[in-house]
Chain A
Amino acid sequence: MTQRGPFLFLVALLILAGIGTAAFRHQEYRIPLLPGAQQTVWQVEARVEYFAQGGATEVFLTLPPEQSGFRVVDETPISSGYGFIEPPADQHLAHWTKRNAEGPQVLFYKLEIVQDDDHLVPDSLPADARKMSWDEPYRTAATQLLDSVLPITVDAYTLAQQIIRSMNRVPIDQNVSLLLDKYEKPELLANLLATAEVPARTVQVLELEDGRRRQGLRDFIQVWHEDAWRLVDPVTGPLAATSKLLLWKAGTPAVLEIIGGTRSRVSFSMISHTRSMLELSQAQTSAFEYSFYSLPIAEQGKFKLIMLLPVGVLVVVFMRLVVGVRTSGTFMPVLIALAFLQTELLPGVASFVLVVAIGLLIRFYLSELNLLLVARIATLVILVIGIITLFSVVSYRLGLMRGLTISFFPMIILAWTIERMSIIWEEEGPKEVLIQGSGSLLVAVLAFLLMDQNIVRHLAFNFPELHLCVLAMVLLLGRYTGYRLLELHRFAGLAEN
C-alpha cells in the first residue's frame, strides 16, 4: 500500500515509546511489572542515650550512607525539645542541639529502609591510601606475617582471607600473638592490609534481624576488590551475601559524638515487614503528582475500568478483522465485557442472555404497536431498566445469584442490542440473530477473560503508556489484508475442483 515505510515507522515508534516509557518508569519509580510484587522494608530505630551535664548540648549521629542493596525511603528524627538541623545532602549526619539540658536524655532517629537488590550505588576508592607505620617489635612481626601470606595470595580478597586464617589459627602463631596483644582483630587486619598497600577500611555495620532490640554496631573491614568495597568479617572472613548487613559508617571516627554530655550510647532496634512494591512506589515519589495515583480513590477505580477498554477494543478488532466474527454493534461486546467484570462471568452471561431474550419477546409485541423508531427504542430502554430492576429484586430475595450487580449492564446499549437483533430476526431470520448474538457473546467473553487477568489490569492501570503498544497493534491490524479465518470456511466451496 501507499506509505508503507512511514506507517511501519510510526508503529515501531509507538511500540518503542510505550515499552520505553514503561521500562523507564519501572526503573526510576520502581513500579513493579507484576501485580503483588513484595519488598522487605526495615524500620530501624537508632536510640541515643546520654547524660547531659547542664548547659548547651550538641549531638551528632552518623547516619548510613548511600549503598547498594538498600534504599532509605523515609527518615524522621524524634526528639522533643531539641532543635534538629537537616544534614546537607552529601553528609549523612543527624545534628541535634539544645541550649539547656540536664539529666538523662533520649533521642531517636527512625529510618525506613527498603531492601532492594537492584539498587546499586557505585563505590569510589578514596584517593589517599593510608600509610601505616609500625613500632618495633610489631614491625618485624607484621612484616614476617605478611611475607608468609603474600606469596600464597593473588589479590586483596584472598590476602584478607589468609590474614584472618592466620589470626584464627590454633596453635597461635608467635607473630600473631604478639600483634593481637596490641591491636584488636579488625584494627590489626586493617593495619596489615594497609601495610600491604591494599585499600582497606574499618566500617561499622548493623546486622538486620527482625525483632532485634538494643543492638550495637559491629566492626567489619571493607576491602577494595574488583572496583567495589567488599565487606570482610574480621572473624570469619569475606562475606558473600551483604543483604542483611547495613553499612552504617565507614572510617574510624565514632558514630556518636556528644558535646556537653557523658555516658553516651547508641543502640538500634529494628523490625521488618513486607509491603507491596506498588504501595511503596506510590507512597514515595512526588513524580506521581500528575499520574492516576494522585486522583481520589473513587476516581482511580473508574480509571482502572476505563484503562481496560483499549484491551477489549483490541480483542474486538482482532476477532473481526483476523477471525471474521460477526457481532451485533461493533463495540457492544466490549461494554458487555466491562459489565461482566462487575458481575463475574457466569451470572453475567446468564443475565445478559435472559435480559436480551425477554427484551426480544417484548420487542415482538412492540412491533405490533406500530411505533416510531425513537419511541420504540425509548420504550425498550425503560423496559430493560424494568427487567433489570425486577431481576435484581427477585434474585436478591431468592438469594439466587448476584442479582444486584446486574445493574452494571449498559442499559441503553442493551436496548439497542435488542432492537437491532429483533430487526435482524425479522429481516434475516433467527439464524442470523443466533450467529450475531453468539458472535457478540463470544467476543465479550474473550475480552472479559483477557481484561480479567490480574497482570492485564495491573499493567493497564499502572503503565498506561503501554496502551501506545495496543494502539500500534490496532493500527497494524487495520492494515491487515490477508484472509480472515472464517473466509477460509466461506470460500471452502472453491476447493472442489
Chain B
Amino acid sequence: MKAWIEPGRLRARGILGMNRRNIGYIARYNSRDRFPLVDDKLKTKLIAQKANLPVPELLNVVSTQYEIESIEQELVKHTEFVIKPAQGSGGKGILVIEALMEDGFVKSNGVTIELNIIKRHLSNILSGLHSLGGRADVAIVESLVRISPLFEHISHEGVPDIRLIVFKGYPVMGMLRLATKSSDGKANLHQGAVGVGIDIGTGESIAAVQYNRIVKVHPDTGVPLRDIVIPNWQQLLSLAARCYEVTQLGYLGCDIVIDEHKGPLLLELNARPGLSIQIANNQGLLPRLRHVENLEEFSPSVSDRVTYAMRTFTRSRETAPSGETP
C-alpha cells in the first residue's frame, strides 16, 4: 500500500482538497448568516419540521442547569432516546440510551449508566463542552431511530447514516457511514467509522474505506460491504435535495438515517462536509461540482434535480473527468 500520492494524480482524479473546498465552495456558496441554521441542530430540526421534512421526533430541550435536576421524570417517559448538544460537531457529546433498567440507563454499547452521569453529561453540554469555542449550548433529547432490518447485520452498533453532498440542490455524491468498535459507535470517518460510497444513480455500494484505506468487509461484523443497496433511494435523494431550499446553502452535507418504520429521516446538516467521501466513492468531487456549476439553467423542481443527478452522477454513465483547470 502506498503511503503517498502525487498531487498531479489527485488533480487528474478531480479530488477536492481542504483548501479549495474552503475557498472555492464553502466561502463561495454558503452564506455566513445561514451557518447557524445548520450549526445548531435545534434550529435545523425546527426549520426542517416547518418545511415538512421528516426528522426524528424532538422529545425535550434542556436549556438551563436547573432543568437538569428535574430531568428524570422527563426521561423516564421514554425508554429510549438520544441526547445531543445542539451545537456539537463531529458527533461529539451524543449519548444514546436504548433501554431503561432498574439500575440505570443502558447505552447503545450495552453499558449501564446511572442517572447522575446523564445529568453531568447534560451539564457539560450546557456549559459548552462539546460546542465550538466552548459556547453555552442547549441539549436536545430526541427519539431514537430504529435501525432498519436491512442494516442490522452490517452495523456494529448504532444506526448507519447516509451522508449526501448536495451542491446547489443537486445530490452529487453519497456515502453510507457505519459505526465501528474503534469509532466508539460514532459515524465519523476520522474517528474510525467505515464509509461506503453509494452510487447516486442506483443507491448501490461502490467501495468502502476505514481510516482512509480501502476495506472489503466490515471490520467488526465481517459482513462484505460490496453488495449493499440503499432502499428508498430516490426518496432519500429528494429529502436531501429539499434541504437546499430550506437552508439556501449551496454546498451542503445532509446526514440521513433510515428508520425501520418512518423511512428516511433528516438527522442533521453540515455546512462544511468532509472530504473522505471521495475515497469511499473512489471518485473526486470536483468534476461533479464543476458539472453543476456549468449547468445553464437551474431546475427549480426537486424531482427534476434528483432525476438529473441520478442520470448524470452514476457510475455507469459517468464520463471521464473533463479537462482540468489548475
A interface, CB within 8 angstroms of B: 1, 321, 324, 370, 372-374, 423, 427-429, 479-484, 487-497
Contact = CB atoms under 8 A, between A and B. Distances in A.
B138 to A, nearest CB: 14
B11 to A, nearest CB: 8
B5 A491 contact: yes
A494 B18 contact: no
A99 to B, nearest CB: 81
Contacts of B261: none
B123 A496 contact: no
Contact of A493 (B20, B23, B213): B213
A423 B2 contact: no
A482 B325 CA distance: 12
Given A370-B120, A492-B5, A493-B279, 14 more contacts: A1-B23, A372-B127, A373-B127, A479-B23, A481-B19, A481-B24, A482-B7, A483-B19, A484-B18, A487-B10, A490-B212, A493-B213, A494-B5, A494-B282
A259 B65 CA distance: 99
A427 B10 contact: no
Nearest to A423: B129
Contacts of A324: 18
- The 5 A-B pairs of least Cβ separation, nearest first, read A373-B127, A481-B20, A483-B17, A495-B5, A492-B5
Interface in B170-226: 184, 191, 209, 212-214
B128 A373 contact: yes
Interface of B: 1-7, 9-11, 13, 15, 17-20, 23-24, 28, 65, 92-93, 116, 120, 123-124, 127-130, 134, 184, 191, 209, 212-214, 276, 278-279, 282
A494 B15 CA distance: 9
Given A370-B120, A373-B134, A479-B23, A492 B17 contact: no
Contact of B212 (A374, A480, A483, A492): A492
A489 B4 contact: yes
Contact of A491 (B15, B20, B123, B127): B15
24 contacts: A324-B18, A370-B116, A370-B123, A372-B123, A373-B124, A373-B134, A423-B129, A428-B191, A482-B17, A482-B19, A483-B7, A483-B11, A483-B17, A484-B18, A488-B10, A490-B276, A491-B15, A491-B212, A492-B3, A493-B1, A493-B213, A493-B279, A494-B13, A494-B279
Contact of B17 (A372, A479, A487, A493): A487
Given A480-B19, A491-B279, A496 B1 contact: yes
Contacts of A479: 23
Contacts of B282: 494, 497
Nearest to A478: B23
A494 B92 CA distance: 28
